[in-house]
Structures are given as C-alpha cells and as structure tokens.
C-alpha cells in the first residue's frame, strides 16, 4: 500500500504544525511548530492550564510580562516535542516600532534560555512591516533567527530576503480569501489559486537568486493548496488538514524543486520603494492591516483572561 499523503509530503517538505495544541503535535510529529496570538489564546483557554496561568499571572510584573511568560512556557513545552524550530511572536502592537520589537525579541530569547531552550531552536515571529523587517535584520546580525509573518506581497518577500531573515511565512489562504471576495464567481482551484501562485513566485525568486531565506507556506484553506506546493521548503499546517492528509492515500507529485542560482540578486528595495510597492497592492495592504488587527484582538482577549487571573 502506498504511503499516506502526509508521509509523502514529509519526504519532500519540512512539515510544521500550525498549532499550540500539545496533543496534536505529539500525534503528527512535525519537525517544527509555529504559534501566534490566536493559537496561544486557544492553548491558554484549555481547562488544564488554568491553575498554571493563574500562577504566572500572579507572579508577573505587568500584563506584557504575563503574556510573554505564557507564550514562552507553551513554546518550551512544544520545543521538547519537535526537533526543529519553535516560532514565538512579538506582540502585534509593536508592528510599527523597530526598537520596541528588538527589545521584546531579546527578552523572549532570554526567557527561553531560562527554560533551557537555546536561541538556535527559536524563530522570533515579526509582522513583515517595514519596521518589522528592519528589526529582523538587526536580530539576525545578533544571532537571533526570525520568521517574518503576515506576508502577502512580493515586495515584502524581496525586503525580507534582502534583510537576511531566516524564514518567511506567505499566507496562502488569506490571499485566496481576498480574491474570492472580489471575484466570487471565479475558479481559483489548484494552480489558479492566487495564494499558491504567490508562494511559487517567491520560491522561484529566492532559489533563482541564491537567497538562503526559507519559504514556509502558511494559512491554508484546503489540502489542495498544500498539494499544489509540495516540495516547498516548509509548510505550516493546521491539525485538521494534517489529519486529512494522514488519512488520504494516493500519489503526491512534487510541484516545487530548488534550482541553482542563475542570476545576481536585484538591488535591495529602499523604504520609499517598499512602501510604494505595498501601497500599489490593495490585497496585501488590506490583509496586512487586517492580520495585525486580528492578532491584536486575540491578544487583548488573552490580556483580559490574565488580568482577571491576576486579580484573583
């Protein structure tokens, strides 16, 4: 019998669990795991964590301290279950503040060290704004690896590669969502999916110009998007879609293959060029802003929960 689709995918792509659910990570045994404020909120709301959350909240100096303590504790648990990276996000509130992002990232790395988790295991997740990319450039120079998230445009991908970031997370499903809202009657299946097309363009640009930045497709709406990107460096996948792939038989075709660099990389984008290119891309502009708002909405819910626990 042929291997299931998940096993075949793991043979050509590093599979990352897009979850804070410890049990799901144990079951699917991904190489890496990635979290965000929404996933941390889901994990924090599990009944079995409530006593520990109350303890963390009571010991914290303020809500920011409590939030980072929770994220690092959950991330440290995950790090014991995966051999590769664990992504932990800097507060979305700091998406337009380079210096504050740098300070928060360094603090998260120090917290992980106190849990016995070294910087080589952590990806600091930062929104791919101009300010976030500038912060990532400096963090990489300090030996702190970064994951640039909420990436919707080619300009963002160019700037991230120019900055030497470790990994980028282009959001496949959210790109599809936007185009479906604009053209509800259009056929976006398979290779016509604009999110799939975006990741392929980024992948081919990076490999064709010799960039070392890892491309990790994210935010999938269906398993077809995953199959269309088989062979990408990494794919971060929700437990529901991991379950579907693990339960599916058939032959998975490799769709992306690295090639030798063919040409020199183009000149880096400066700030004005980056902002203009992003402004010209209505989808990317809208989805980036919306993504930051959504992450902050879930962060505020977690802040409310921890605030209530601090007050007893």
Query: What ranges in 85-215 are assigned the alpha helix state H?
Result: 98-114, 130-141, 154-163, 172-182, 194-209
Compute the Cα dihedral for 279, 229, 233, 295 and give only its sign.
positive
Active site residue: 125, 207, 227, 287, which one? 125
* Contact between residue 209 and residue 244 where contact means Cβ atoms under 8 Å apart: no
Backbone angles phi, psi at 4, to 5 degrees: -65, 165
Residues 105, 110, 116: CA angle, nearest 5 degrees: 130
Active site residue 294: no
Element of type H or E holding 32: strand 32-34
Is the CB of residue 229 less than 8 Å from the CB of residue 252?
no
Q: Rounding to the nearest 10 degrees, give the CA dihedral for residues 36, 39, 40, 41.
A: 120
Active site amino acids: 125
């Amino acid at each position: 019998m042929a291997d299931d689709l998940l096993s075949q995918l793991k043979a050509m792509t590093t599979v990352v669990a897009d979850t804070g659910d410890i049990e799901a990570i144990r079951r699917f045994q991904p190489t890496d795991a990635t979290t965000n404020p929404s996933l941390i909120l889901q994990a924090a709301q599990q009944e079995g964590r409530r006593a520990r959350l109350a303890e963390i909240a009571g010991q914290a100096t303020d809500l920011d301290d409590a939030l980072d303590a929770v994220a690092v504790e959950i991330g440290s648990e995950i790090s014991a279950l995966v051999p590769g990276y664990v992504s932990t996000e800097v507060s979305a509130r700091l998406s337009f503040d380079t210096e504050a992002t740098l300070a928060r990232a360094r603090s998260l790395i120090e917290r992980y060290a106190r849990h016995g988790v070294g910087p080589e295991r952590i990806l600091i997740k930062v929104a791919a704004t101009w300010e976030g990319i500038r912060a990532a450039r400096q963090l990489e120079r300090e030996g702190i690896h970064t994951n640039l998230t909420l990436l919707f445009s080619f300009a963002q991908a160019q700037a991230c590669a120019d900055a030497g970031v470790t990994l980028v997370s282009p959001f496949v499903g959210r790109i599809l969502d936007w185009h479906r809202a604009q053209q509800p009657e259009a056929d976006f299946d398979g290779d016509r999916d604009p999110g799939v097309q975006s990741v392929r363009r980024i992948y081919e640009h990076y490999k064709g110009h010799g960039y070392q930045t890892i491309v990790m497709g994210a935010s999938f709406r269906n398993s077809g998007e995953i199959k269309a990107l088989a062979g990408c460096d990494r794919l971060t996948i929700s437990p529901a879609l991991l379950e579907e792939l693990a339960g599916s038989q058939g032959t998975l075709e490799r769709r992306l293959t690295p090639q030798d660099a063919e040409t020199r990389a183009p000149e880096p984008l400066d700030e004005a060029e980056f902002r203009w290119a992003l402004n010209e891309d209505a989808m990317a502009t809208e989805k980036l802003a919306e993504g930051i708002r959504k992450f902050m909405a879930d962060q505020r819910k977690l802040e409310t929960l921890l605030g209530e626990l601090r007050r007893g």
